[in-house]
Amino acid sequence: MRLVSLFVFSLQWLAIAASPTLLGLFVGVVLSLQSGQLNALTVVAWGAVGFIIGGFWAERIRKQTGLSEFLGRLAGARDTSKRR
């Protein structure tokens, strides 16, 4: 059971860290294409920067509120207000 718990915990941590990683990859692609050609080193470097920032962010969330509670709040958040 502990193995399953560790697996779920790891997936939650990665879910939080993935958002800045994807943003970093996007910035890398845009900056690389702005120079005229797609440079893989630029994309990977910005992706790594995004992953490092995402890792720090995921650890901060883990220590302050907990990963399950944070993701539960995100899933339960109302996106729009009810107007009648």
Per-domain residue ranges of the chain = 16-63
Length of the chain: 84
- Assess whether pLDDT exceeds 90 at residue 53: yes
Sign of the torsion formed by the C-alpha atoms of 37, 43, 44 and 46? positive
- Does the pTM surpass 0.75? The reply is yes
- Assess whether pLDDT exceeds 80 at residue 20: yes
Q: Which residue has the higher pLDDT, 84 or 53?
A: 53
Question: How far apart, in Å, do the first and last CA atoms of the chain sit?
Answer: 47
Q: Which residue has the higher pLDDT, 49 or 35?
A: 49
Q: Is 15 helix (H, G, I), strand (E, B) or coil?
A: helix
pLDDT of res. 77: 78
* 38, 83 contact by CB (below 8 A): no
Section 47-73 average pLDDT:
94
Mean pLDDT value across the chain: 90
